[in-house]
Structure 1
Amino acid sequence: MKSNLETVIVDDDKITLLYLEKIVAQSNLQGTVHMSQNGKEGIETLDKIADSTNKILVLLDINMPVLNGWGFLDNLKGKDYDENTQVIIVTSSTAEADKIKSKDYKNVIGFLEKPISSQTLLEVVTLFDENYIIR
């Protein structure tokens, strides 16, 4: 039986990973939280968990080594679990071009600039959890 939700946090900053994990734990989201330190690890995590869940929420940084956020999103296209995966970009980038580029990816449902408050993320996560922004 598939679970309702798995959350994957993809960020190369260990402090950010722990911070986002704490916020997700404080939210109403059910399911396991997985952490990956780059886009390649993130895709590998999705490949492992996709068969066991109905929905995947990814909190994704853009600027990372090995495979950045854009590479992650490009790799997500065409995967079997593509339709079940929603992405919130959580980044230090303030570039308007990045915000515009994020709209080219159907999986991206939000763009948050670091540092983010727990309240901001909780509001977005609550919308996700209550299916307001699920396709």
Structure 2
Amino acid sequence: MSRIDLTCIIDDDPIFVFGARRIMEMADFCSSFMIFKNGKDALDNLKPILESGRQLPDIILLDINMPIMDGWEFLDEFIKIECNQEITIYIVSSSIDPMDMKRVENYENVSNYIVKPISPDTLNIIKKDFA
């Protein structure tokens, strides 16, 4: 199974970020992390990386309910940016609203919708998808 180099977590909940990062470290899920508190921070930091050709995240774990710019707004802007590297995006949310789960189907660059919390089993599924 190939190792994921860089995982990006976009989530405003510090407890979730801490827990997800800890579980990923224990599972030897990836080599490093990028963490952003909302979609705007993520876009402001990822866009220059995309444009310069520097290393991009292999996987983005994206919350949808965040202040300033939510996950849906982030996706709408992110898909407009030209990118030569495939980035696998997972929505990771506490929302069990069927409308949110259905809405994810409108984004072909989103691999799956994961309901929080993240578990080691969830990470194994993501890693299998990535391999």
TM band (smaller chain): 0.7 to 0.9
Q: What runs of 5+ residues in structure 2 fail to find an aligned partner? A: none
Match of 2:108 among 106, 109, 121: 106
Aligned residues: 126
Q: SS of the counterpart of 1:32? A: strand
Q: Which 4+ stretches in 1 moved above 4 angstroms?
A: none
The sequence identity of aligned pairs, in percent, is: 29
The worse-fitting range, judged by mean Cα deviation, of 87-96 and 22-31 is: 22-31
Match of 2:66 among 36, 56, 64: 64
Q: What runs of 5+ residues in structure 1 fail to find an aligned partner? A: 131-135
TM-score by length of 2: 0.83
Q: Give the distance between the partners of 1:37 and 1:68, measured in 2 at CA.
A: 10
Q: 1:90 — aligned with what?
A: 92
Is the CA contact 1:59–1:89 (under 8 Å) kept in the aligned structure 2?
yes
Residue type at the aligned position of 2:58 = I
* CA distance 1:70–1:86, change in 2 (3 Å): same
TM-score by length of 1: 0.81
Q: Over the residues paired in the alignment, what is the CA RMSD in angstroms?
A: 2.1
Is the CA contact 1:8–1:35 (under 8 Å) kept in the aligned structure 2?
yes
Q: 2:14 — aligned with what?
A: 14
Is the CA contact 1:76–1:82 (under 8 Å) kept in the aligned structure 2?
no
Q: Give the distance between the partners of 1:108 and 1:81, measured in 2 at CA.
A: 15
Is the CA contact 2:16–2:117 (under 8 Å) kept in the aligned structure 1?
no
